[in-house]
Amino acid sequence: RFAYVNGRYARHADAAIHIEDRGYQFADGVYEVCEVRGGRLIDERLHMDRLERSLGELRIAMPMSRAALGAVLRETVRRNLVRDGMVYLQVSRGVSPRNHLFPSADTLPAVVVTAKSVARASGDKRAEAGVAVISVPDNRWERVDIKTVSLLPNVLAKQKAKEAGAYEAWFVDKDGNVTEGSSTNAWIVTADGALVTRPATVGILKGITRTVVFELAARSGLRIEERAFSLDEAKAAREAFITAATTVVMPVVRIDDQAIGNGTPGSIATSLREHFHEFAEEAAAW
C-alpha cells in the first residue's frame, strides 16, 4: 500500500509526518473522505467544494489547485488498486515550531492522502440487519460545520456506542434534539412517510451523502422536512437511518433501548440505499 505525503508517494508502512505538524499538535487541519466505486471517486466536486470551504473557515490556503488535488486522489486510488473503498485526504496548516499563533505566511500546508479497499458486501450485510444507535450529550464546539480533524468527542462517542453493542452514537443537544451521529448524519421517517433531518445551518456537518439523499428523495417523490427533531420523536418514528460517504444509507433499528418500527430495516431507508449508488455514480459526472 502507498500513501501520498507532501509531494511523494511513500510506502504506507513507512509514511510519516513531522512531529511539529500542526495537525498532530493542535488538530489544526481538515479532511475529506470520499467513496470509491469501480475505481471512480463519488461526488468529487461536492467534496472539493466542502474542502475549500473548511480550509477557508480556518484560513488555510488550498495546498494546490483542485485539478492537481483530484489527480493526487485518483493516483492514490490507482496505486492502491482500489476498486471499491474510500480515499482519505487531510490538509493541515503545516510544519512549524509549536506555537498557538499561525506560522509565517510562507509555511506550506501539509497534505496526506490514503486509500483503502472496503468490500461492498460488508456494508450491504450490515444494512440487511440494520444498526443500533445510542444517544449521548452533544458536547462539541459550535463549529462542527467545519470538517476538522479535531474529533475527540466523536471518538469518545463512537467508542461508547461500540461498548454498548451499538454501531453509532447520536449527539443530542441541550433542547433534547438530535444533531447528528459521531461520523454520520441522522434521519427519521414520519408516520406519513416524510424524511426528517436537521437543517445544515447550525450544529451539524453538511454531509455530501445527505445532499445526495435530498436529490434522491425528490426523484422518488418523497417529502423532506428539514427541521430539528427530538430524541423522543426519533424513538417513536416509523423508520430511522444514518448517512455518510462510507456508510451510504444505513437503516437504524434501535435507539437506546427502543426498537424502531418493528425492529427491522424500514422500506424507505432500504430503497434509498438501493437507489443511492446508481444516482451517486451519475452525480460523479456533474
Instruction: Report the interface residues with ligand PMP, using CB under 6 A.
Output: 33, 154, 180, 183-185, 205, 207-210, 243-245
Among 125, 147, 158, 235, which one carries the catalytic annotation? 147
Q: Are strands 239-244 and 110-117 parallel, antiparallel or unpaired?
A: unpaired
Q: How far is the CB of 36 from ligand PMP (least distance, A)?
A: 13
Measure CA 246 to chain center: 7
Distance between CA atoms of residues 69 and 62, nearest Å: 9
Could you identify the residue written with the cell 461526488? 43
Which C-beta is closer to ligand PMP: that of 95 or that of 276? 276
User: What residue is closest to ligand PMP based on CB?
Assistant: 207
Q: How far is the CB of 184 from ligand PMP (least distance, A)?
A: 5
In terms of DSSP H, where are the helices of 31-104?
44-58, 66-79
Which C-beta is closer to ligand PMP: that of 80 or that of 182? 182
> Is 174 among the catalytic positions?
no
Residue 209 exposed, middle or buried by CB count within 10 Å (0-12, 13-18, 19+): buried
Distance between CA atoms of residues 3 and 80, nearest Å: 9
Q: How far is the CB of 206 from ligand PMP (least distance, A)?
A: 8
The neighbouring-strand residues paired with 10 are 3
Q: How far is the CB of 169 from ligand PMP (least distance, A)?
A: 11
Which C-beta is closer to ligand PMP: that of 4 or that of 171? 171
Which C-beta is closer to ligand PMP: that of 95 or that of 250? 250
Q: How far is the CB of 154 from ligand PMP (least distance, A)?
A: 6
Could you identify the residue written with the cell 490556503? 61
Could you identify the residue written with the cell 506555537? 99
Distance between CA atoms of residues 171 and 152, nearest Å: 13
Which C-beta is closer to ligand PMP: that of 95 or that of 157? 157
What residues are annotated to the active site? 147
